[in-house]
Amino acid sequence: MPVSLAALEERTPNWPNPAPQSHAASRARFLDDAPVGPGESREKIPAYEGINIEPSLRLFADSIAPTRCTFRLAEDNDQKLCWLGKCSLGIQLEMTDSDAMASKPPPRQEIAVHTDTQRASELTAGSLPIEPRRVLQVTWAILGAAAAAILTFGWAGDWRSVLVLAVTTIFLLLALWLSHQKRAEQAAALMLVSLTASISYLLFQNQGVRGEAIAALPAILVVAGMFGTRRLFLTILATILAVLSALVVASVQGWHVNVVRPVTMGTLVNLFAVLLVTAFCVWLIASDLRLALARLKAENERIRESHARIDVLAHHDSLTGLPNRVLARDRFEQAVALAQRNGHRVALVFLDLDEFKTVNDSLGHATGDLLISQVANRIADSVRASDTVSRQGGDEFLLVLGGLTDGDAAATTALKIIEKLSAPVEVNGLELSVTCSLGIALYPDNGVDFDTVLKNADVAMYQAKAAGGNAYRFFDSEMVGDVAETLHLISGIRSALTRGEFRLHYQPQYELKTGRIIGAEALIRWRHPDLGLIPPGKFIPIAERSGLINGIGAWVLTEACRQAKQWQEAGLQQLVVSVNVSPVQFRRDEIEREVTDALLAARLSPSSIELELTESLLIAESSHLSPLLGRLRALGVRFSIDDFGTGYSNLGYLKRFEVERLKIDQSFIQHMREDPNAEGVVRAIIEMAHSLKLELVAEGIEDSPTLDRLIELGCEFGQGFHWSAALPPDEFFDFVRKARGI
């Protein structure tokens, strides 16, 4: 039998009452293909975005406590606040895949409710739920009134009325039995029908509309309103009206004239009994209504608290309590509306912590969260009360600065934040140093909507980070061109290897005293089909940031080994090829395999290859690098430190890693003649290297005086334009043969 849920809407406050879209907590839908078992029915309840359905389900469960219901809910992809499983209400919730709804969203979201009609109490649009306890209470009250009437009629000698009331009592006892059997609907119907029939007969048999029995008719209607269905209530009302009409018409026409008896104490007893039963029923109704109002008040409060919690979850960051991007967008739009009226500007400041990943990786995410919380507090203390500080996630923050006349105020705020964060942060007994990079974009100068201004602030932030961090940058249109060029280069690098666009050129290395060529440095070149020759300094940093350097590095190793073997077979012996290796390659733990594979593929002796490392790699990766270099050195591979003197020149790692050669950076070599400090640095490096029994290679030798001075200082090897630029393989081969007189 279908179960109507209109009463649920009547008993549920604010149902339906859609909340704002941003407060969406759950979405539900009707499953047309959900199976309906025997004895079950499906009822459709409208569902609305933004409404917390838990209080409604709780009221529904209270109304039909014996009922077993299954609600199938579609998970909301944005908030994921739907609750799942068996809740305390005894209602089972089953989550459905929201992706299945994406292709064809239903025009009206609904909930499928399955009820067991053999155990469920009936709900109709015009009645309250029938509770067996209430039926028992009212039936016992009516039995008491009937017993009193039997006594009064028996005392008066009206045995016919006594017989009618006795039969009615039997039916009332049967109604009691039905109530005890949890068949409240049948019990109520039997009670109402028997009462209506007996009172109608007593009116006809005794004093008609002048008798005390007529006072029982309102009580019957009250009971029918409490327990009867709409159809039964209307039927009883129509029957009562018909009986009264018939009695009046019969008396007026003289067909049946009721004799009016004198008033006795029995009359008073009967009236008292009827009034007491009526008062008892009214009191029960009032009690239930007061209880329902108290529950509704409590549920209203629960809904308000639930909406408040949902609002916090939907618009604030759970770690810092700061607004999230949704609320930041709203605050930005409010600031823009105010700026349009006042002719002001609005600034979006995108802030990203520098090297925050190091904290998470080394100290753990719990420490990182504590650091983020303290950073959030410092940022919030650096802005005005009218500004908005929002956390975007991870180590990213967004600031909305309104009411600006120009960008100077935004720059002042950025400097204040940098200064605030520069002070050490104490976390778990550790003092951590934090720096940040900030990008600033202005409305309406750099965009007229939130997404555009945010994108431009993000671009400016990356420019600040590329400049070394701990700085801020304002957005300008040239940055967009730089970003577009970077993306274009990244796309080109991906396909350059497969299309064979990379080439290796080789710059000869000399023994300075003898002028003999002892090796070559392999330098990569990229001839782009559209952009032409792209220098390494332009695409190598991009390749390292994007991770594409790994593929490039593996190709360079393979190609350099192949070319070295080819030259050896052609007669160029005792030629060592130096290959630059990126620090990114060492972090992947595959450099050992790549070197071994390249040597095996070319069948080249490991002593013919020298790997050039950076100082920053030796410092940052010392614990991981030492055993790796030891294994490669055991194979016969040589190592040198490239651009020595420009980074962390540390004697400790020189001793620990046992490199063979140091390459003095060309910035010192090229300024030796005019800068005494540069020559002093070169002299110090040479003396230190000799004391550690290391060989030296001077980069960037461009003239004879510089060459002569390096020989005087004791430098063994060098390379530079004084002899030759980097040459393609064939030209390098001819150049070496000519130099060696082959």
* Each residue's pLDDT tens digit, 494-532: 888 888 899 999 999 999 999 999 999 999 999 888 878
Bridge pairing between strands 638-644 and 661-664: parallel
The phi and psi torsions of 93 (rounded to 5 degrees) equal: -110, 135
Cα four-point dihedral sign 485, 488, 490, 493: negative
Residues of the chain with pLDDT below 50 are 1-128
Do 314 and 326 form a contact (C-beta atoms < 8 A)? Answer: yes
d(CA 707, CA 698): 9
d(CA 331, CA 325): 10
Question: Buried b vs exposed e over 650-678: b needs ≥16 C-beta within 10 Å?
Answer: eeebbeebebebbbbbbebbbbbeeeeeb
CA distances from 662 to 288, 535, 655 (A): 93, 24, 12
pLDDT at 623 (0 to 100) = 63
CA distances from 210 to 160, 200, 201, 206, 240 (A): 19, 13, 14, 9, 15
Comparing C-alpha atoms, which of 694, 685, 650, 638 is closest to residue 665?
A: 685
The phi and psi torsions of 114 (rounded to 5 degrees) equal: -105, 130
Question: CATH: 3.40.640.10, 1.20.58.390, 3.30.1200.10, 3.20.20.450. Which one for 497-740?
Answer: 3.20.20.450
DSSP 693: T
Tell me the sheet residues that pair with 93: 71, 85
pLDDT at 337 (0 to 100) = 93
577 CB burial (10 A radius; 0-12, 13-18, 19+): buried
R_g of the chain, CA atoms, integer Å: 46
Does the domain spanning 325-475 belong to CATH 1.10.10.10?
Answer: no
Do 418 and 352 form a contact (C-beta atoms < 8 A)? Answer: no
Do 442 and 347 form a contact (C-beta atoms < 8 A)? Answer: yes
CA distances from 206 to 23, 75, 201, 210, 256 (A): 67, 68, 8, 9, 11
d(CA 590, CA 700): 32
* pTM for the full predicted model: 0.49
Specify the residue for token string 């008066």: 156
The phi and psi torsions of 625 (rounded to 5 degrees) equal: -80, -35
Do 639 and 613 form a contact (C-beta atoms < 8 A)? Answer: yes
Do 446 and 474 form a contact (C-beta atoms < 8 A)? Answer: no
d(CA 699, CA 666): 5
Q: Which two tokens stand for residue 277?
A: 């039963």
Comparing C-alpha atoms, which of 527, 509, 530, 506 is closest to residue 518?
A: 509
Q: Which two tokens stand for residue 117?
A: 């009609």
d(CA 547, CA 552): 10
Omega before 129 within 30 of 0, i.e. cis: no
Neighbouring residues of 721: CB distance < 8 A, sequence distance ≥ 6 = 700, 701, 702
d(CA 113, CA 84): 16
Please give the helix or strand (H or E) that residue 716 lies within, else none.
none
Do 602 and 634 form a contact (C-beta atoms < 8 A)? Answer: no
